[in-house]
Chain A
């Protein structure tokens, strides 16, 4: 039942911030590793590419998602995570040792490191799923929002199982490519996509004072997506090429439909003033449509453009959405935690300087633009990566600034005897 979000029930400020800062450290590592290996790899199946991809997906994306869910799930469901400080700390430790071992395992082709990394990552994800599902069921609500969250966690559980099985394939037990493809599909079209739509259904109307998303989208899209993912998995395992093609096209179509509705909702928003997060949101949704179309055409025409699809999906769609959300969430969180502690001097606008946010996002746009030239001149990847490294460093500095601002103002907290 309703518990509200008192300061005792909300996670301490440091929990989401620690996850965000760690995430950006992996973004920096991603830039350095891409710079180091980019000129020497040519296939997505090469171990260096798998290592780099997972630094981005687990190191960056998963940290951001975990940190945000620890903060947002209680607000959206009015139910707190149990023992949040201890559990968040445990997951953070397991996740980090897991990623580092996993990446080392791939880079050195080391079986013990791969096993250690795989097991720790699987445990971190499964434990986070368990905690989140427990929180959801404790809320005793089962509205469309809750159902969407449950669906995203179901997809995550399946993705972890297939990912771990694919890892075993590296030692010859199973067909890695089949299991790996199902793992990627459940991660991207399942966990990430359904989580993004779940959050967007609330965030877009909330932050931009826009109309709610249509009810059929909120209540049906996640079901359709899960059914399509199961069909995809079946077709992949049974090598049913026609069903596989159809499920890929339909999965991509769901993304296009959602992206179009998001753009429409943003265009009709009441808070008409355009800020940088709106620009990033449009950019991400545009890239989501482009990625889906590329994926459909690549499968219809049997062309191998998986690098470009991966680039537009991860770097063009998911990254800018996260960047946009970070610049909405962090200043608000900082201010909210301070004012909840009766510190009313703080102002959200001073948490991170607007010009620093704009500069960081412009660096990201510039690096994205430079990446587009890579197919014509491969060495452009080095320049693009350097620019993105600066963008990531500035993002780190901006979040550190928010934390410093919090530390400085929380000292003014008045403690009543």
Chain B
């Protein structure tokens, strides 16, 4: 499995968790919705941590792009997502269905366009720049933070 495959699969898992949370919300099952939302939030934040603490610095060093290039844009969008999580926490906990859907919509579009850029360009660059150590990196990612 390549770095791109592994990270792309994680994107899909996060998408799936958010849609599950919204399905429960739509059916008025607020406790189940909150549980799925928390799982989505934890998985997404874990994914951001992997990128910001491990993958991005490695890519910046190997490619010589520094921290002001595309990885910086990705970090800014992570910050935007984190600000949304704070509001989503409030909405899910307060069982504000419409607000939770609306914030979920922002989160979904933000993450989808963010993922598109990562999958099309950044992960492809990683596959190329970090090819020699790819196997070791994927193994480390699989156990990251555990």
The interface of chain A, by Cβ under 8 A from chain B, is 1-6, 75-76, 78, 141, 143, 202, 205-207, 209, 270-273, 328, 331-332, 335-336, 339-340, 344, 347-350, 354
Residue pair A270, B113 in contact (C-beta under 8 Å) = no
Q: A271-B22, A272-B26 are in contact. Are A336 and B110 (CB under 8 A)?
A: yes
Contact of A272 among B16, B19, B83, B108 (CB under 8 A): B19
Instruction: Please tell me if B101 contacts chain A, counting CB pairs below 8 Å.
Output: yes
Which B residue sits closest to A202, measured CB to CB? B116
How many residues of B sit at the interface, in one of the four size bands? 20 to 34
Which B residue sits closest to A349, measured CB to CB? B102
Q: A2-B122, A4-B69 are in contact. Are A332 and B109 (CB under 8 A)?
A: yes
CB distance from B83 to the nearest CB of A (A): 4
Residue pair A78, B101 in contact (C-beta under 8 Å) = no
Q: Give the complex CA separation of A347 and B88 in angstroms.
A: 11
Residues of the A chain whose Cβ atoms lie less than 8 Å from the Cβ of B74:
4
Which A residue sits closest to B65, measured CB to CB? A2
Instruction: Please tell me if B141 contacts chain A, counting CB pairs below 8 Å.
Output: no
Residue pair B113, A347 in contact (C-beta under 8 Å) = no
Contact of B112 among A1, A2, A206, A273 (CB under 8 A): A206
Which of chain B's residues 44-92 have a Cβ closer than 8 Å to chain A? 69-70, 72-74, 76, 80, 83, 87
Residues of the A chain whose Cβ atoms lie less than 8 Å from the Cβ of B134:
none
Q: Give the complex CA separation of A332 and B103 in angstroms.
A: 10
Residues of the A chain whose Cβ atoms lie less than 8 Å from the Cβ of B105:
331-332, 348-349
Residue pair B113, A335 in contact (C-beta under 8 Å) = no
Q: Give the complex CA separation of A336 and B108 in angstroms.
A: 12
Residue pair B108, A209 in contact (C-beta under 8 Å) = yes
Residue pair A332, B106 in contact (C-beta under 8 Å) = yes
Residues of the A chain whose Cβ atoms lie less than 8 Å from the Cβ of B102:
347-350
Interface centre among A78, A141, A272 (most CB of B within 10 A): A78
CB distance from B68 to the nearest CB of A (A): 10
Residue pair A207, B70 in contact (C-beta under 8 Å) = no
Which B residue sits closest to A350, measured CB to CB? B102
Q: A4-B70, A344-B83 are in contact. Are A335 and B22 (CB under 8 A)?
A: no
Other than A3-B70, A206-B116, A339-B80, give 15 A-B pairs with Cβ distance below 8 A.
A76-B116, A78-B120, A78-B121, A141-B120, A143-B120, A202-B116, A209-B112, A271-B108, A272-B19, A332-B106, A336-B80, A339-B83, A347-B102, A348-B105, A349-B105
Residues of the A chain whose Cβ atoms lie less than 8 Å from the Cβ of B72:
4, 6
Contact of B106 among A5, A209, A270, A347 (CB under 8 A): A347
Instruction: Please tell me if B32 contacts chain A, counting CB pairs below 8 Å.
Output: no
Residues of the A chain whose Cβ atoms lie less than 8 Å from the Cβ of B39:
none
CB distance from A155 to the nearest CB of B (A): 24
Q: Give the complex CA separation of A272 and B20 in angstroms.
A: 9
Instruction: Please tell me if B31 contacts chain A, counting CB pairs below 8 Å.
Output: no
CB distance from B36 to the nearest CB of A (A): 13
Contact of A5 among B26, B73, B83 (CB under 8 A): B73
Q: A4-B117, A5-B73, A335-B106 are in contact. Are A271 and B99 (CB under 8 A)?
A: no
Which A residue sits closest to B74, measured CB to CB? A4
Q: A78-B117, A348-B105 are in contact. Are A270 and B16 (CB under 8 A)?
A: yes
Which of chain B's residues 106-146 have a Cβ closer than 8 Å to chain A? 106, 108-110, 112-113, 116-117, 120-122, 125
Contact of B19 among A1, A271, A335, A348 (CB under 8 A): A271
Instruction: Please tell me if B43 contacts chain A, counting CB pairs below 8 Å.
Output: no
Instruction: Please tell me if B5 contacts chain A, counting CB pairs below 8 Å.
Output: no
Residue pair A2, B22 in contact (C-beta under 8 Å) = no
Residue pair A349, B117 in contact (C-beta under 8 Å) = no
CB distance from A173 to the nearest CB of B (A): 47
Q: Could you name 8 residue pairs across A and B whose Cβ atoms are closer than 8 Å?
A: A4-B117, A5-B117, A205-B112, A206-B113, A209-B19, A272-B23, A273-B22, A344-B83
Residues of the A chain whose Cβ atoms lie less than 8 Å from the Cβ of B101:
273, 349
Q: Give the complex CA separation of A267 and B117 in angstroms.
A: 26
Contact of B80 among A202, A271, A340 (CB under 8 A): A340
Residue pair A207, B69 in contact (C-beta under 8 Å) = no
Residue pair A347, B99 in contact (C-beta under 8 Å) = yes
Q: Give the complex CA separation of A2 and B16 in angstroms.
A: 28
Residue pair B112, A349 in contact (C-beta under 8 Å) = no
Q: Give the complex CA separation of A360 and B87 in angstroms.
A: 29
CB distance from A342 to the nearest CB of B (A): 9
Residues of the B chain whose Cβ atoms lie less than 8 Å from the Cβ of A4:
69-70, 72-74, 117
Q: Give the complex CA separation of A340 and B120 in angstroms.
A: 22
Q: Give the complex CA separation of A206 and B83 in angstroms.
A: 21
Residues of the A chain whose Cβ atoms lie less than 8 Å from the Cβ of B103:
347-349
Which A residue sits closest to B98, measured CB to CB? A349
Q: Give the complex CA separation of A348 and B98 in angstroms.
A: 12
Q: Give the complex CA separation of A349 and B108 in angstroms.
A: 13
Residue pair A6, B73 in contact (C-beta under 8 Å) = yes
CB distance from B116 to the nearest CB of A (A): 7
Residue pair A207, B112 in contact (C-beta under 8 Å) = yes
